[in-house]
Amino acid sequence: MGVTVLQPYPLPDGKSGAHIIDLLGKRLLSLGATHAGQFLVDCETFISTPQHGAPTRAVHVLHNSEYPASTFSMIDNGTGKQVSLVADNIFDLLMLKMTATFTSKKQTKIESRGARFEYGDFVIKLGSVTMMEHFKGILIEIEYRPCVMLSYCWEMIREMLQGFLGINVAKEYPSYFTTQTIINAMGQQQVHPKQNDIYEPMDTVKQYLEHFTNYRKHVQMHTAMGGTGGGGVGGPVVMGMQPSSVGGAGMGRA
Amino acid sequence: MIMDKLNVTLTAVKNLRSNVRQCFEHLADGTDGEGVEESRNKFVHEFQEKYNNINSQLREVEQLINGLQVPPTAYHLGNTTYLAQETSQDRQALYPQLVNSYKWIDKVHDHSFLAFNNLNQNTLRRSYNYCSQKRQRLPFSSFNNDPDHIEKLLSEINYPTHTTYKVFRPFGSNAVAIVTIANVLKAAIVFKGVLIEWVTVKGFDEQLDHDDLWAESRYEVFRKVQEHTHSAMLHFYSPTLPDLAVKSYMTWLNSHYKLFLEPCKRCGKFIANGLPPTRRDLRTLEPFHEECRNC
């Protein structure tokens, strides 16, 4: 279990996603990395049917091909508190049984898939994010497997990312790690520097959810500006649970 | 059809043979020797019966054999056909193979002879020293110290707060220390007396099994670090001052707590060939890439 960092790759104008992925893949191969299969991370969101007096809750169900026997889920009750759960794959069937309480929002099913590379102890995944078969962007996942804490190896990961992406990566830790809050013994929320915690698979999944939510929101803002009034029922809910979402720091509540 | 007939014939021959054998066995057993008329008659009677049996079976076999036909095609006998095949040396192409293996064995013999000579003169043999006459008269006692000594020695070392260690003795009196350095790595140090015999380095999240101290780490970086710990183990080796050797070795090992944190002193980069600077200088404890060390 190593530390994983997600890095969205900005698409230059006039270039297609497939072209960029191809280019990055070639760069990695010439660096000495080896191609090691494919990967897939998908996310489906279920929304609770509205009841009188109770706020709408969302359940995000994610799968990660790196942990093929597990289903990750997060309940978001809209008040800023998240409950996360790792379960066996059979959890998916359980969700299907709960259609009375939770309905799936098929139009927001989002996934990131692509090639997986290994370079020394690094695992690099070039993911293209698609929602409903529409290409949304490029999300690079980089994992350094021997290390268990971000603060130990962030500079290494940063150097690696800058090296093959050719873009400048900020010196600060990624926002997911710095903006985590915990409830302390006095019941108050407190900023907790997560870079000094032992990394867990759930952290990878939470980072994916954070980025996926950003991609979804981006689309909804787009459609809203286009005057079609899209977004439907889902729009306010997704926006509602992300009040301070500027800069991708939205899901930062554990 | 032909096969059936053949099978029946073969069975008949088998029966005949067993009957003949039984008959002769009966004859060889003879009577019980008491000379009683009754038993002698019985014996002769039984013999006649068996003899008749043999006769009738012989006739049956002859009849069956006459009934057999010459098969139109050769029987397919599977792999057994090869049994009777003539083997000639030229066709088998055995000779070149034999020559090759002979050469190979010859080479192995040569090499092992050279290796044996070299190993006999090896100065790196550390625990026992056969070569020096002087040493034999004054055997250093660093490998048969009393068991408490190593624990005392380890407790005397000033560890930084991020390092913890645990001593256990799976091999009788010889100690094994499991050292955990921050959240970076674990190392199992196998002692023989006070001398360090072996070091295994693994990642913080890997299991360092007490029963299997020799399994390598699954991560390339820790396998590389382990190589360096072994060379350092030879560097710090000092049979005359074994305590000091262990202390300086532990100080050197502790410098790995910044394994992923420090860039290489020479090239200033973190990564070379997918690895962080794994080499720590033996005196200054500065980090270097393996490739940067000698340039």
Domain boundaries, chain B: 2-70, 147-261
**Please, which residues 220-239 of chain B have a Cβ atom closer than 8 Å to chain A?**
220-222
Least confident of B117-121, B215-219, B235-239: B117-121
Q: What is the pLDDT of residues A125-164, one digit of tens each?
A: 999 999 988 899 999 999 999 999 999 999 999 999 999 9
Q: Does residue A220 carry a pLDDT above 80? A: no
CB B177 within 8 A of CB B203: no
Q: Does A206 reside within a domain?
A: yes
Give the CATH number for residue A46: 2.40.320.10
Q: Does A250 reside within a domain?
A: no
Q: What is the crossing angle of helices A150-165 and A17-31, to 10°?
A: 110
* Band of pLDDT at residue A64, cut at 50, 70 and 90: very high
Q: Does residue B191 carry a pLDDT above 80? A: yes
Percent of chain A with pLDDT over 70: 83
* Band of pLDDT at residue B132, cut at 50, 70 and 90: very low
Look at strands B195-203 and B279-280 and give their pairing. unpaired
* Band of pLDDT at residue B139, cut at 50, 70 and 90: very low
Cβ distance B261 to A198 less than 8 Å, yes or no, reads: no
Mean pLDDT of the region B31-56: 84
DSSP type of residue B246: H
Does residue B270 belong to the interface with chain A, where contact is any CB pair within 8 Å?
A: yes
Instruction: Spell out the residues 6+ positions from residue B243 whose beta carbon is closer than 8 angstroms to its own.
Output: B153, B194
Q: How many CB atoms lie within 10 A of CB A70?
A: 18
Looking at this predicted complex, what is its ipTM?
A: 0.78
Mean pLDDT of the region B122-149: 55
B260, B267, B273, B291: best mutation site toward chain A, by most A Cβ within 10 Å? B260
Q: What is the pLDDT of residues B68-119, one digit of tens each?
A: 887 777 767 777 766 666 666 666 777 888 999 999 999 999 999 999 888 8
Number of domains comprising chain A: 1
A148, A156, A173: best mutation site toward chain B, by most B Cβ within 10 Å? A156
Euclidean distance between CA atoms A59 and A36, whole angstroms? 32
| CA nearest to A123 within chain B | B274
Euclidean distance between CA atoms A171 and A179, whole angstroms? 16
Task: Identify the domain containing residue A98 by its residue range.
Answer: 3-227
* Band of pLDDT at residue A245, cut at 50, 70 and 90: very low
Residues of B in contact with A171 (CB under 8 A): none
Q: How many CB atoms lie within 10 A of CB B274?
A: 16
Q: How many CB atoms lie within 10 A of CB B197?
A: 16
CB B52 within 8 A of CB B45: no
Euclidean distance between CA atoms A142 and B18, whole angstroms? 81
Does residue B184 belong to the interface with chain A, where contact is any CB pair within 8 Å?
A: yes
pLDDT at B2: 73
pLDDT at A204: 94
CB B264 within 8 A of CB B292: yes
pLDDT at B131: 46
CB B221 within 8 A of CB A146: yes
Residue positions counted in chain A? 254
